[in-house]
Amino acid sequence: MQKLKVHQILVIGFMLFSMFFGAGNLIFPPLLGAQAGSNTIQAMAGLTVTAVVFPILAVAAVAKHDNLMKLGSYIHPWFASAWTVLICLMIGPFVAIPRTASTSFEMAAAPFLSLDAQGMFLARVLYSLIFFCLATLVAMKPHKLKDLLGRIMTPVLVVLIGSVFAAVLIKIPAAVSAPNTEGYRDAPFVTGFVTGYQTMDILAALNFGLVIAVNIRDFGVTDRKAVARETIKAGVIAGLMLAGIYFATAYIGAVMSAVPGLLKEGETGAGILTYAILQCFGPAGQILCGLVFLIACFDVCCGLLSSCSEYFNRLVPMVTYRTWLFIFAIFSFVVSSAGLYRILSFSFPILKVMCPISIALIIYGLIRKRNPDDKA
């Protein structure tokens, strides 16, 4: 069999979506909506380019050339190695993986705790330890990710977010304020475009190909071109799902834009989504909100741990996949203790450099022929 059945490609597409949709994908669209207010549509058009369109194109470019290393090697072998390692570290233990634990703690655990600063720090450490132990356990079998993430976790997550969006449509008046920041007031598209960098989907898409290919081959598809074709189909499915949820959560943020004092200094977007859910569901909404963030962040953590470990295992074969998995999990656990706001503050300046270079590489990969002797 060299072509997936409809339900199989849906499972792969759902799995890829769940690997994309984590901490950043939940917190930045509602923050954009709250800050952009009446300019939310223009701002979301910009975010959609960097957080949906280019990630889909990245999946297609990497699938066309088999992997990121091969694509990068057309420019220079040293660039290929250095850039792939840097991407893995950014979407792995330096930023994205620790961010999953920090965000899910802030939303799924912290609201239920009445502790001082030291007690909250210890609680975060304990939570992160349990979180990474469970994620590492799941990531030990990367070919099984499609079963847990694609068949179970993603449908549950989509239903929960859909319920929140429907409740906001019904219960909260669709009134929005003027833009709250200079960027969204003067250049909403460009500001949304740059905000999309923080989802890190452009970088992640360049590196998810290995895990997607492993799961497609597990269905029995072995031909290289067939694997590439099915990978691109999964990318389109995941991209459409991302776009739908981005616009839904940005709408939630937009109708919250007029709430006095909601956009406090250091706001990451998590508080905006929490406030909307509490307004719609009351005290029980905190549990619903915690579940949404926990499932989304756990899915992405498993996918990132697996994809980074797969790559480094191929880069340094003498170190086993499981050894790399433990190394990344332990390092991510340590970084996650810094807290969500510090992680975001550290990462954004780096992403503003890395994402434009990745966009150029994606375009290059799409227009370049696969013939290694072609220098055009």
pLDDT at 363: 93
pLDDT at 362: 92
- Tell me what percent of the chain is helix, strand and coil, each rounded to the nearest 5: 80, 0, 20
Q: Residue 233: CB partners within 8 Å, gap ≥ 6?
A: 4, 9, 12, 13
Q: Residue 31: CB partners within 8 Å, gap ≥ 6?
A: 253, 267, 268, 269, 272
Q: Which value, in Å, is the radius of gyration of the alpha carbons in the chain? A: 20
Give whole-number Cα distances, 371 to 144, 364, 374, in Å.
34, 14, 5
The answer to whether the CB of 1 falls within 8 A of the CB of 221 is yes
pLDDT at 333: 92
pLDDT at 364: 92
The answer to whether the CB of 36 falls within 8 A of the CB of 192 is yes
Alpha-carbon dihedral 140, 146, 150, 153, rounded to 10 degrees: -20
Task: Give the tokens for residue 280.
Answer: 């719609």
Give whole-number Cα distances, 299 to 23, 147, 230, 286, 358, in Å.
10, 12, 21, 20, 24
* C-alpha triplet 201, 156, 114: angle, nearest 5°: 85
CA pseudo-torsion sign 171, 270, 117, 337:
positive
pLDDT at 345: 75
Q: What is the DSSP letter of 197?
A: G
The answer to whether the pTM exceeds 0.85 is no
10 Å CB burial of residue 160 (0-12, 13-18, 19+) is: middle
Tens-digit pLDDT string for the chain (376 aa): 677 788 888 888 887 887 777 767 888 899 899 899 889 999 999 999 999 999 888 888 888 887 788 888 888 889 988 998 888 888 888 888 888 888 888 888 887 888 888 888 899 899 999 999 999 988 887 666 656 665 677 777 788 888 888 888 888 887 788 888 888 999 999 999 999 998 888 888 887 766 677 778 777 887 777 887 888 888 889 889 889 989 999 999 888 887 777 776 556 677 788 888 888 888 788 788 888 888 888 878 887 888 788 888 888 899 999 999 999 999 999 888 776 667 777 778 888 899 999 999 999 988 887 665 655 5
Q: Which helix (H) or strand (E) holds 12?
A: helix 6-20
pLDDT at 127: 93
pLDDT at 340: 63
Outline where 316-339 has alpha helix (H). Answer: 321-336
Q: What is the C-alpha to C-alpha distance for residues 239 and 237, in angstroms, rounded to an integer? A: 5
Q: What is the C-alpha to C-alpha distance for residues 177 and 263, in angstroms, rounded to an integer? A: 12
Q: Residue 204: what residue type?
A: A
pLDDT at 330: 93
DSSP structure string for 83-136: HHHHHHHIIIIITHHHHHHHHHHHHHTGGG----HHHHHHHHHHHHHHHHHHHH
pLDDT at 132: 94
